[in-house]
């Protein structure tokens, strides 16, 4: 079962990652023993998904501490390595938060840093389970279809993106487990195909019925009533509910608003950035041209070198989010500030 896959695990001496660039053809692991190899893995999306890069970042601090000892780094060199790791990708708040949590334990020694990383993983696992149950309960109650549900999702929010069964994909797994899921429309998720390479792979492992569609089909799948709800993950959610997630998410939210269909975000509270007022302040990662122009992806005929706009994420206004599922339950915030006392 794919949810038993561990995208991020600690071997005792190294950080072991599923190399997500090789999926779905090859399931192989990367053993990472130094900070720069981990930064490279995060930048290349060998490990990806907000909670997974958070966990990897926390273990990365443990790697940095060990490397500092082996290579006689100064305190300054260690702090620089931790800062570079923290900044490897800018949009998902989980990376910075988890690196900071692990780094705060450095004065207590290497075991404390490793223990913190382990706690982060266990918290995410538990949050996944809680979100799956709460999200499935909410959908079943809210969408009175009188038959199993048809759900649209975008990008990959499953075991590969988290420490457990996933966020949005965890809710989908739960619906399937309860016999309440008819099918999943999986957006392929251009340009790196996290949907068709990773989500479809995870669903296929468990025999969960699904169909992959091109991203451009999503709006008409929603407006045409082929699905009952859309559920996605998040990389950062600001105080007013604005939600950064994989590019293409905003279009789905707009289509859902038009169709009067629930647009649900599932994310652990570790993805909330309550210090930031609105999504306008979220830094959206711009990625390289080759991801879009690479002829292997079949998008652009060989030899044509256009300029490329390749934002990895977009921001969905909080007003378009019907419900936010976290491990603390479901919050129906169509607009307005997320209540500060809900999270403590």
CB of 152 to ligand MRU, least distance (A): 13
Kind and range of the H or E run holding 151: strand 149-153
Count of helix runs (H) and strand runs (E) in the chain: 10, 14
Q: Which is nearer to ligand MRU, 202 or 228 (CB)?
A: 202
Determine whether the annotation assigns residue 118 to a binding site: no
CB of 91 to ligand MRU, least distance (A): 8
Q: Which is nearer to ligand MRU, 102 or 266 (CB)?
A: 266
Determine whether the annotation assigns residue 205 to a binding site: no
Of 187, 235, 273, 314, which residue is the catalytic one?
A: 235
Burial 268-305 (b: 16+ CB within 10 A, else e): bbbbbbeebeebeebebbebeeebbbeeeeeeeeeeee
> By beta-carbon distance, which residue lies closest to ligand MRU?
233
Can you read off the two tokens belonging to residue 123? 């918290």
Residue 344: exposed, middle, or buried by beta-carbon count in 10 A (0-12, 13-18, 19+)? exposed
CB of 104 to ligand MRU, least distance (A): 23
Which of 51, 39, 45 lies closest to 88 in space, CA to CA? 39
Determine whether the annotation assigns residue 129 to a binding site: no
Q: Which is nearer to ligand MRU, 221 or 271 (CB)?
A: 271
What residues pair up with 30 in beta bridges, in sequence order?
17
Q: Which is nearer to ligand MRU, 162 or 183 (CB)?
A: 162
- Look up 273 and say whether it is catalytic: no
Q: Say whether 228 sits in a helix, a strand or coil.
A: coil
Question: Is there a contact between 219 and 256 (Cβ–Cβ < 8 Å)?
Answer: no
Determine whether the annotation assigns residue 279 to a binding site: no
Determine whether the annotation assigns residue 245 to a binding site: yes
Contact set with ligand MRU (CB under 6 A):
45, 48-51, 92, 155, 157, 161-162, 167, 194, 233-235, 245-246, 312
Known binding site: residues?
Answer: 48-50, 89, 194, 245-246
Annotated binding-site residue numbers for substrate: 48-50, 89, 194, 245-246
Residues taking part in catalysis: 235
């Amino acid at each position: 079962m794919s949810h038993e896959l561990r995208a991020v695990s600690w071997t005792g001496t190294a950080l072991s990652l599923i190399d997500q660039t090789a999926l779905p053809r090859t399931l192989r692991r990367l053993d990472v023993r130094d900070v720069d190899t981990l930064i490279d893995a995060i930048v290349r999306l060998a490990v990806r998904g907000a909670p997974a890069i958070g966990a990897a970042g926390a273990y990365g601090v443990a790697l940095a501490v060990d490397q500092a000892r082996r290579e006689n780094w100064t305190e300054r060199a260690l702090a620089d390595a931790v800062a570079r790791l923290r900044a490897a990708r800018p949009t998902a708040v989980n990376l910075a938060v988890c690196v900071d949590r692990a780094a705060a334990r450095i004065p207590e020694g290497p075991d404390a840093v490793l223990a913190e990383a382990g706690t982060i993983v266990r918290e995410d696992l538990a949050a996944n389970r809680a979100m799956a149950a709460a999200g499935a309960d909410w959908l079943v109650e809210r969408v009175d279809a009188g038959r199993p549900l048809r759900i649209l999702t975008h990008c990959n929010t499953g075991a590969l993106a988290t420490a457990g069964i996933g966020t949005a994909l965890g809710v989908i797994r739960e619906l399937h487990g309860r016999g309440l899921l008819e099918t999943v429309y999986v957006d392929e998720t251009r340009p790196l195909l996290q949907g068709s390479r990773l989500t479809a792979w995870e669903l296929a492992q468990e025999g969960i019925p699904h169909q992959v569609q091109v991203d451009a089909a999503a709006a008409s799948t929603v407006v045409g009533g082929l699905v009952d709800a859309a559920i996605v993950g998040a990389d950062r959610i600001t105080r007013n509910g604005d939600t950064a997630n994989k590019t293409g998410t905003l279009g789905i939210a707009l289509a859902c608003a038009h169709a009067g269909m629930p647009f649900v975000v599932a994310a652990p509270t570790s993805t909330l950035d309550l210090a930031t007022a609105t999504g306008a302040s979220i830094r959206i990662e711009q990625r390289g041209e080759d991801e879009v122009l690479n002829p292997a992806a079949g998008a652009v005929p060989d030899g044509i070198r256009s300029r490329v706009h390749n934002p990895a994420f977009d921001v969905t206004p909080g007003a378009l989010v019907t419900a936010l599922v976290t491990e603390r339950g479901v919050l129906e915030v169509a607009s307005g500030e997320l209540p500060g006392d809900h999270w403590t």
